Structure 1
Amino acid sequence: MLSIGIIPARFASTRLPGKPLVDIGGKSMIQRVVEQVQQANLHRVVVATDDQRIFDHVHGFGGEAVLTHPDHPSGTDRVWEAYQQLGIEADCVVNIQGDEPFIHPAQINALLALFHEPVTQIATLVKPVLSDEELLSPHLPKVVLRADGKALYFSRHPIPYLRQYPVAEWRQHHRYLRHIGMYAYRPAVLQQLTRLSPAPLELAESLEQLRWLSHGFDIHTTETELETIGIDTPKDVERALAHLAS
């Protein structure tokens, strides 16, 4: 099975401009992401960027990058353009966040394993919620699954709502899951996703994957216990440096 890992990396960021080039212990964030992803069972790893500085930097440390249009509405659209530029036929394309410098190769491999089943269209990761803070954070989307393990719904609100118990007891009575935002797709499905119109549920929650569910696509899931550190603010950079030093 031929698989491609594509890492969208935009220069613009409201809370951390130039985020992919931020120094994390002597290496840029994007270099750390690429080096982690290269350890997974992927045939090729490519950075998809809208900025010449990032493009040049990636080539400077020996990585592969393509320049994409600056006005893509989502990382999914950027990944599709990058895949088209590569001019190859893959069985699976993995969309990997460019702001997680300690991403685990095992998580990528877990997604790839789902594509040994021909019925898999889209795959993503879920992780048990370990604290009330995680459960109640709108920045950590939650997910509920169907009996067959496919995603039923994603929400920024804790789901399900356990009306018979106070919120402080919810985790005692239900095993909550949160979503880890890494996706893998069949290329033909990825192309279809970029042609879908926004859905009301997506607009309500500001979660792109609800567009796919609303239009009838299945999203397979696999569970991970591994944690990653996303970088979105200067404080997150401090956490990453502390992680390196530990």
Structure 2
Amino acid sequence: MKIIAMIPARYNATRFPGKLMKDLAGKPVIVRTYEAAVNSNLFEEVYVVTDSQIIQNVIQDNNGKVIMSKKEHDCGSDRIAEAVENIEADIVINVQGDEPFIDTISLKKLIQTFKDDSTNTVDLASLKVAMHDELEINNPNNVKVITDSFGFALYFSRSVIPYKRDLDYSTTYYKHKGVYAFRKSALLDFYNTPMTPLEKSEKIECIRYLEVGKKIKMIETDIESIGIDTPEDLEKAILFLQKEHE
């Protein structure tokens, strides 16, 4: 089973333009993410996939592998699908470019999901982490996920799901972490399917997989990483690195 990592890296992010090139304790965010993926020693190959000459240059300057997109893409899955189409691989891990602190333990769990899937039931695997802070739960930048009794995703939303009608009932809310593991065939199916209605509404790409009948296994982790969606997130990441080196 050949496992590779792809890091989609779009320069003009809507909420925080140029965030992947922002300085994070001496290195651009995208370089931090690339190095974290390589240093995990879980992948036969790691690539950054980008539409930006600026990002291409900085990855090459740091001796990294980079693929330039030939087409315009609305989401990371489309971007890496184009890149991986002619690359030999069984499992493709999509590591988000703005997740520089992804942990090896969680990546191993995703990979093990496919190794244990003897019936090839799982099309994708991804991560979820429990949320307890009300501000985090209600923040639309945090994508929430609900699953069935077997751990397969039922729906993702920027809204608070499930809705807590009975205030006396204890409900656990889960945030979707932006790390995906795909069977290459599922990724290419996604690439050849137009954007679906609910995906358009929520602006959450993994909904497209659900709308076309793919099975997404959600793996719970208690390791919370810092995704960089806003300038405030970048400040948190800088403080995190400073504490690590104290």
User: What is the TM-score with the length of structure 2 in the denominator?
Assistant: 0.91
- Once the two structures are superposed, residues 70-92 of structure 1 have per-residue CA deviations (whole angstroms, 9 ceiling, x without a partner) of 511211111011113xx432110
Q: Which moved more, 1:16-25 or 1:177-186?
A: 16-25
Instruction: State the Cα distance separating 1:11 from its structure 2 match.
Output: 1.6
- Once the two structures are superposed, residues 46-81 of structure 1 have per-residue CA deviations (whole angstroms, 9 ceiling, x without a partner) of 000111221121111111101113511211111011
- Residue 238 (structure 2) pairs with residue 241 (structure 1): yes
Q: How does 1:134-213 map to 2 (within 5 A)?
A: 134-165=136-167, 173-213=170-210
Taking a change above 3 Å as real, the CA distance of residues 176 and 15 of structure 1, as seen in their structure-2 partners, is closer
State the alpha-carbon separation in 2 of the partners of residues 33 and 20 from structure 1.
9
Taking a change above 3 Å as real, the CA distance of residues 88 and 210 of structure 1, as seen in their structure-2 partners, is closer
- For the 8 Å contact 1:151–1:220, the answer to whether it is kept is yes
- For the 8 Å contact 1:69–1:78, the answer to whether it is kept is no
Taking a change above 3 Å as real, the CA distance of residues 76 and 153 of structure 1, as seen in their structure-2 partners, is same
Paired positions, count: 239
- For the 8 Å contact 2:127–2:220, the answer to whether it is kept is yes
- For the 8 Å contact 2:110–2:125, the answer to whether it is kept is yes
Instruction: State the Cα distance separating 1:191 from its structure 2 match.
Output: 0.5
- Once the two structures are superposed, residues 68-126 of structure 1 have per-residue CA deviations (whole angstroms, 9 ceiling, x without a partner) of 13511211111011113xx4321100111101221212222211111111322111111
- SS of residue matched to 1:32: helix
Instruction: State the Cα distance separating 1:39 from its structure 2 match.
Output: 2.5
For 1:90, the equivalent position in structure 2 comes to 89
- Structure 1, gaps ≥5 residues long: none
Q: Which moved more, 1:15-24 or 1:90-99?
A: 15-24
- Residue 26 (structure 2) pairs with residue 26 (structure 1): yes
- For the 8 Å contact 2:19–2:29, the answer to whether it is kept is yes
Instruction: State the Cα distance separating 1:32 from its structure 2 match.
Output: 0.7
Work out the percentage of aligned pairs sharing the same amino acid.
Answer: 38
State the alpha-carbon separation in 2 of the partners of residues 145 and 16 from structure 1.
30
User: What is the TM-score with the length of structure 1 in the denominator?
Assistant: 0.91
